[in-house]
Amino acid sequence: MGVPAVPVQSDGAHKIMNCVAGAAALAAFALFAAGAPVARSEEPTSPPAKSACHRSAFRVVIDVGHTIDSPGADSARGVPEYQFNLALAGVIKDKLVEAGFDNTVRLITTTKHMAGLLERPARANAMHADLFVAIHHDSVPNNLIESWEYEGQKHQFSDRFSGYSIFVSPENGDYQGSLSFGHLLGMALQARGLHYTPHYTLPVMGRHRRLLVDAEAGVYRFDLLVVLRETRMPAVLLEAGSIVNRHDELVLATAGRRALVADAVTAAVDEFCEARTKPAPTAAAPPRPKPAALVR
């Protein structure tokens, strides 16, 4: 058989085809240079997990320890503990509200002595609070106190101990919840460079000696604290630091330290709220029995 003839294109036809191909290539380059979307393979991304904590519904009571007429211990330079407590509690409340816990209450009382102590948990219970945090600053027993002079005035101090401490009571309405929040708070404080004081375990503390129930986070057991014993919700008392320690007193009075403690409290509250409101895992269904004919 003969080979079929192949039509031969003229020079003019070749030029036309080359121009068309060139124009197509230029158009493709222009689209690329203009940022036209290019198809590419991507891994599917999961949406961020939704928080189980309803912050605006979670009520935290920040209790200001002592009163203006019964101000607690004096610092190494003569500043009443109540002033430290009031200032720190205000910063903590503001941080919590800023984080979305807008039902937070700073609890201030003026009633003295035992009636005032009983008033605090009664008000928190009436609010149906979800968490109670009492704010205090620490001192030491009289047998550990020394004297010094500051600005022409005699004051008392003890530089022997430094650090925070957290207290819980097994008489509280939710002791396990109190332990859980105390642990979260201690770890949050440590994550920000703070440490707890171990001196409550020492014999030198006498009747003020306490059982350390969480050695990792710095949580002590204090059975008879009224504000912890009478509250129905989880409750802790935070001693933010020792104001009779001459160095620590100055640090505890700074805006930076108050903000740092407030950040730790807020982080612990957020994590605690998340854990408390997370639905319990569904129990796995029991295995279905095989039909009698298939049992071997």
pLDDT attached to residue 143? 94
pLDDT attached to residue 277? 82
pLDDT attached to residue 38? 41
Q: What are phi and psi of 209, to 5 degrees?
A: -70, 140
Of 205, 165, 168, 206, nearest in space to 186 by CA: 165
Q: Which domains does the chain have, with CATH numbers?
A: 55-277 (3.40.630.40)
pLDDT attached to residue 112? 86
Say what the pTM is. Answer: 0.79
* Ranges of the chain whose pLDDT falls below 50: 1-44, 289-296
pLDDT attached to residue 125? 98
Query: Quick check: 239 and 167 in contact, CB under 8 A?
Result: yes
pLDDT attached to residue 23? 45
pLDDT attached to residue 52? 86
pLDDT attached to residue 5? 40
- Spell out the alpha helix ranges (H) of 204-286: 226-229, 246-252, 255-277
The Cα–Cα gap between 262 and 199 comes to: 24
Q: Per-residue DSSP letters for 17-32?
A: HHHHHHHHHHHHHHHH
pLDDT attached to residue 90? 98
